[in-house]
Structure 1
Amino acid sequence: MMSRRKLRILSVASIIDPTGRYGGMPIVAYYQAKHLSKLGHEVLFLTAHSRRVLKIQEIREPAAPALLARHGLILSPTAYANLILKSRTINDYYDIIHMHDARDLLSVSLLLSREKTPSWNVPIIIQPHGSLFFGGKLTILKKIYDAAFLSRLVAGVDFWIASTYDEVLSILRLGVGRENIATIPNGVDEEAILGCSSSTKLHMSSRGIILYLGRIHASKRIEILIKAMRHVVNINRDATLLIAGQDEGEWHRLTRLVRRLSLEENVKYMGFVSEEMKYKLMKTAKAVVIPKFHCTALTVLEALALNRPLITTYESDRLEENLEKLITRVGNSPEEVAAAIEKMLKSEVDENGIREYILEVYSWRSIAERLENLYFKLLNGG
């Protein structure tokens, strides 16, 4: 059995930002690296946000957003040529390469550098983070990318990490063997959760607060929730839906729906909120509703850790069996979502709930330990 020596891990992610402004993948990559570093390993980032390799120790919370604020891929041929030239150094220095996102040109450039390095011996792991999902405005671009790179991606990657059963199926459809896939969910920030007390709640009226927290994107099916609120307010006129998250071009359409249903007083958009405000909103809400999510949505784990009821539909990815028992799933009709919300509004929130279980199994520390075990298994030929 290989001893638990210090590993040198290269984490490849086009965006590194723990604020949530760019979705879940940058958060997951950041917290995985942070807690692997706490386990004694050296973790460095290769990111399109910086021309150099970024050490996890150099990220100062909350300074990271200021350091890595710009979104987007760097499409410079010079940058990729430079990476290929450095491939021998990468191969000689690192023990494990962990790539985030299956449709990312930064990851592809690293695989191309592997092809040009016959002596390459560093295992490459890829974690898609839902990027294998087809849909939305970029479907055509995804198909073009797949035609150009997907077969090389499958051939060049040694191991895959899925966060849900549905993502396992997506990877299997690529022709990857089941023995080359591990299921490791996302995690929750234990320190932040334990820092939330009953006083964390917002001083709002006693109206029933329903919360959607996440990206404002067509794939999230937020319109189902807004239509459900039309039914909810017929019974509970004071019920309020708070929608918080980064708008990705969808809120303009949703605003028209809110007006058409005359819900201006019952549906409020709060924009992108800070980490502190996020937890305050969760503690204030009677329930958190996410109509559709891919992977193990971070909001799901955070809501459960704060003992908030979580409602979703059968369109969302299936979670680990023990998590499935803790959430409420309904059909994707507004009527079914409304019925689930009405039930939660009538119930008292159990403030003791399942926090200890979530923090024990799904803290980032626990997730980092599962990753560490996987890394050593691969390096040991397992």
Structure 2
Amino acid sequence: MVSMRDNPLTALRDQDVTGPRLHVAKLSEALHLHGHDLTVYTRRTDARLPERVRIASGFEVVHVPAGPVRQLDDTPYVGEFALSLQKIWTGDAPDLVHAHHWTSGFAAVLGARHSGIPVVQSYHALEGGDSTTYERLVGREAACVIATSGHEANELARLGVRRSKISTAPWGVDLRAFTPNGPSAPRNGMPRILTVGGLAPHDGVDDLINALTTVNWAELVVAGGPSGSTPDANLVRLRELAGRRGVAHRVTFLGRVPHADVPALLRSADVVACPQWHEPFGIVPIEAMACGVPVVASAVGGLTETVVHGVTGVHVPPREPRALARALRSLLSNEVQRQEMSCAAEDRARVRYDWQRIALEVGRAYQRVGAPAGAEATPALR
């Protein structure tokens, strides 16, 4: 594994880590359980860390020197990182390299160029803009590209990656933490609509607040955004909107919620809303479904694949508060339907998004480019 920007050690030791760092950690753990010998290469950002950290037999993290030994906002030392990889792999070549984010992919392609090691690439969403040239180059040089959804696969094809190179394997969910049973956050007696994510206009919280005006006797809880005492411009905008729309007393902004506290918060909700205008995949609806909570999601991107309309939740057109309100009213007023969707949602999360299932799919992508299969040490999938 090459994860230049995201050190999985922090995710293995800190249950509040999210995003690509968590993905690399959980996927690595699952692949190791399937019998793969695994080394994760990441950029050294802390002088106190040893060069190599052994997680288990056949599983270690290597901190590669490249640039200053501290956290950086961007990653301008790709070439230096690639040279270090090339030296390491000259004497100890792996069967396969799996790179995460285009910066890691660029370093992996350069580091493996003279040795012929196949490179598998995961972007975790395309950045576009100034990064497009590098993203396209990595996609064309890689032996295989793993998309998280059919939507991302289409984006990769438009980027210029051959369809025959693309495999699809979604992100997984920790089914030990995200379950229907367990502690639940306190409630105030009203039906609860929960949304977890950013506060920018494209995150759709504005639409939820506008929808709430016709969803009577229900509260909206918003988790995400700034965690400090000084509110940012998006939070100020949303609070002002809630005041103008006369629903400020039914809207609670929690700020950033530690990931360890998210399961309890999800269990406290009657419905989880994902009103984003665009979303290549979406982790929140998977975590909500694993907790047995139905989801109302915008019919965009990967959300249309994650949430099964009429089974685990409801799709609504993006940027249409009236349609969002109708879906919320319908679910909140029908307890039987919510219970049916709750059971279906939990079942889908366990069958489709268990990390062991994801590791099997990623392992099959490895085999497509000639890597040996793992030992399949884990029991059969549920």
1:241 aligns with 2:236: no
The structural deviation recorded for 1:321 is 8.0
Q: Contact between 2:96 and 2:371, CA under 8 Å: does it hold in 1?
A: no
Distance 1:267 1:322 in 2: 25
- SS of the residue corresponding to residue 190 of structure 1 reads coil
The structural deviation recorded for 1:267 is 1.2
The within-5 A match list for 1:58-137 is 72-75=73-76, 77=77, 80-90=79-89, 92-102=92-102, 105-114=103-112, 117-118=113-114, 120-132=115-127
The structural deviation recorded for 1:380 is 5.4
Q: Do the aligned partners of residues 223 and 213 (structure 1) sit closer, same or farther apart at CA in structure 2, a change above 3 Å counting?
A: same
Aligned amino acid, residue 154 of structure 1 = G
Distance 1:369 1:301 in 2: 19
The within-5 A match list for 1:197-216 is 197=181, 200-216=183-199
Distance 1:362 1:291 in 2: 21
- SS of the residue corresponding to residue 187 of structure 1 reads coil
The within-5 A match list for 1:272-291 is 272-291=256-275
- SS of the residue corresponding to residue 376 of structure 1 reads helix
The structural deviation recorded for 1:170 is 0.5
**More divergent stretch after superposition (278-287 vs 249-258):** 249-258
Q: Contact between 2:185 and 2:265, CA under 8 Å: does it hold in 1?
A: yes
Q: Contact between 2:294 and 2:345, CA under 8 Å: does it hold in 1?
A: no
The structural deviation recorded for 1:54 is 5.7
TM-score of the pair, normalised by structure 1: 0.79
Aligned amino acid, residue 332 of structure 2 = L
- SS of the residue corresponding to residue 160 of structure 1 reads strand
- SS of the residue corresponding to residue 121 of structure 2 reads strand
Q: Do the aligned partners of residues 35 and 381 (structure 1) sit closer, same or farther apart at CA in structure 2, a change above 3 Å counting?
A: closer
The structural deviation recorded for 1:53 is 6.0
Aligned amino acid, residue 179 of structure 1 = S
Q: Contact between 1:46 and 1:53, CA under 8 Å: does it hold in 2?
A: no
Hey, what does 1:139 align to over in structure 2? none
1:222 aligns with 2:209: no
Percent identity reads 19
The structural deviation recorded for 1:357 is 3.9
From 255, 258, 279, the counterpart of 2:239: 255
From 364, 368, 379, the counterpart of 1:377: 368
The one-character-per-residue Cα deviations of 1:253-301 (angstroms, maximum 9, x if unpaired) are: 3233223323321111112222342111111101000112523312111
Distance 2:345 2:326 in 1: 24
The structural deviation recorded for 1:178 is 1.1
Q: Which runs of 5 or more residues in structure 2 are unaligned?
A: 62-69, 374-382
Aligned amino acid, residue 138 of structure 2 = L
- SS of the residue corresponding to residue 167 of structure 2 reads strand
- SS of the residue corresponding to residue 302 of structure 1 reads helix
Q: Do the aligned partners of residues 15 and 49 (structure 1) sit closer, same or farther apart at CA in structure 2, a change above 3 Å counting?
A: farther
The one-character-per-residue Cα deviations of 1:349-382 (angstroms, maximum 9, x if unpaired) are: 3254442342122101111121122212321599
**More divergent stretch after superposition (153-162 vs 81-90):** 81-90
Hey, what does 1:30 align to over in structure 2? 25
Hey, what does 2:149 align to over in structure 1? 164
TM-score of the pair, normalised by structure 2: 0.79
Distance 1:231 1:345 in 2: 12
- SS of the residue corresponding to residue 187 of structure 2 reads coil
The structural deviation recorded for 1:241 is 0.8
RMSD: 3.2
Q: Which runs of 5 or more residues in structure 1 are unaligned?
A: 1-9, 61-68, 133-141
Distance 2:71 2:198 in 1: 17
Q: Contact between 2:2 and 2:99, CA under 8 Å: does it hold in 1?
A: yes
Aligned amino acid, residue 125 of structure 1 = V
Q: Contact between 1:303 and 1:310, CA under 8 Å: does it hold in 2?
A: yes
Q: Contact between 2:148 and 2:170, CA under 8 Å: does it hold in 1?
A: yes
- SS of the residue corresponding to residue 365 of structure 1 reads helix
- SS of the residue corresponding to residue 379 of structure 1 reads coil
1:15 aligns with 2:6: yes
Distance 1:48 1:72 in 2: 13
1:331 aligns with 2:317: yes
Q: Contact between 1:13 and 1:26, CA under 8 Å: does it hold in 2?
A: no
